[in-house]
Amino acid sequence: MGRHSCCYKQKLRKGLWSPEEDEKLMNHITKHGHGCWSTVPKLAGTIKILNTLFFSIIHFHCFPFLSKNTSSPSLLIPAQLMVAGLQRCGKSCRLRWINYLRPDLKRGAFSQEEEDLIIELHAVLGNRWSQIATRLPGRTDNEIKNLWNSSIKKKLRQKGIDPNTHKPLAEVDRKSAPTISTERTSESSDIDPSSGSAIGNLNHLLSETAQSPELLPVLGKHRKETTSLAHLRVPPKELFLDQLVSGHDNLPSSRSTGPIPNFPFQQLMCYSNEFGSKHGGSTNSLWFNQNESSCSTISTVMPPVSPSTLSTSTGINRSPDNPNSGGTGIQSNQFYWDTNNPSSSSSKGSSGSNSLGFELQSTSSILENSIFPWTDLSPDKNGHLEEELKWPDLLHGTFTDTPATMQNLSQSLYEDVVKAESQFNMEGLCAAWSQNLQPQQHLQVVSDLYDKDLQRMSLSFENI
């Protein structure tokens, strides 16, 4: 198949991104959405030039006395704005946005719970980093991949666990371990679905679950511990920006883009992370200000977003001593809303009702009652999860569960798998929200979404 056209182009910058490039890209995407990535580098510069030209012409015609020494409006354009667009290929722009500039990224070290989750997901999904990343809100596949290769692998080996098969190293050694190639799918393919002890991949898992109820808890576990996070995952902010700025309602097929019409995402920008409540109260707030203490506040006071707000509120606070660095501290990469804009709000703003006038409620209650009516998966009232299934039991199929639990798990099986594969489809929910549907209607919408996702899922697995 054809390669990316930009790969053939010369004179494109490579290497680390400068703050100026970041700003260009950030400004462009927040104002216009990324659209076609291949056009982003050009547009990121040309739009600025056109804007400048426009205002220069206005300036020239309205205030000629200020430019009497100039013979042409074009002379009013500052030279520094005449630079071309980003000298980057679209692919590079996309990568930079996804892995670094995206406002929903969670910075900082991985928690132990996240690491454990990655290990468990890797046992099921193999090196499908992007799918693993969908279960860890705010984390990118690249980040997870790096963590795996640099840290988790070593830790597992130190514990006597083979990171490829998730089996004890001694057992692997006895079996004259297969040569680990450097091929793309080497690690995931090392997990032999037919081996019986390690769960090779999701495809195998699905086929097995159809016949082997004992595998259901594998998904059931993730349903409780991880899919609940997936449920709470809100669409990337850029989706909203695209929609809010452009106002169109096309439906991109890309999994990373999609319209979110009139969705009150400000109330979802933060969620009560069960990890946080479970372990020392460290709340992992996502989206924008990642100040740990501001989670509950920002989730309830964020007003509707206007394009004007967005266009002026995309500043990035970086660590002052290293502006080019992503920083490792959670505080070092905050994205903020324009606190000077009266239509906007501060993360330290007061609570109460927002400018839409509807009564605010806690994020968790919204999630449980309105947005995610199926969230019977929530932690219990004390913030604790139900007793977890031990992973080794899952791997070896020795788990037994009560019929009632199994029934619940089987009911939710498709939820978990579908969302693992297709990511949660927020579009319909957003549409439902925008239509002010009643709870029962929400349920219907959700049900329909599941049906569609299930169909897509089936097709996907048929093609594997």
Partner DNA sequence: AACTATTGCAACCGCCGCTAA
Partner DNA sequence: GTTAGCGGCGGTTGCAATAGT
Site residues for DNA per CB under 7 A: 1-5, 7, 13-17, 36-38, 88, 90-92, 94-96, 99-100, 109, 127-131, 141-143, 145-147, 149-151, 182-188, 253-257, 322, 325-326, 328, 463
Which lies closer to DNA via its Cβ, residue 48 or residue 96?
96
Residue with tokens 């996907």: 460
Q: How far is the CB of 95 from DNA (least distance, A)?
A: 5
Q: In the numeric block, which tokens belong to residue 229? A: 């996070």
To DNA, the closest distance from the beta carbon of 439 in angstroms equals: 32
- Looking at the Cβ atoms of 142 and 375, the one nearer to DNA is 142
What's the closest the beta carbon of residue 245 comes to DNA, in angstroms? 17
Min dist CB 212 to DNA, Å, is 25
Q: How far is the CB of 36 from DNA (least distance, A)?
A: 4
Judged by beta carbon, residue 163 or residue 276, the one nearer DNA is: 163
Nearest CB to DNA, comparing residues 3 and 68:
3
CB of 185 to DNA, least distance (A): 6
Residue 200 burial class via C-beta count within 10 angstroms: exposed 0-12, middle 13-18, buried 19 and up: buried
Which is closer to DNA, CB of 176 or CB of 253? Answer: 253
Residue number with CB closer to DNA (80 or 150)? 150
Cβ-based nearer residue to DNA, 136 or 389: 136
Which residue lies nearer to DNA by CB, 80 or 182? 182
Tell me how far, at minimum, the Cβ of 421 lies from DNA, in Å.
11
Smallest distance, DNA to C-beta of residue 90, A: 5
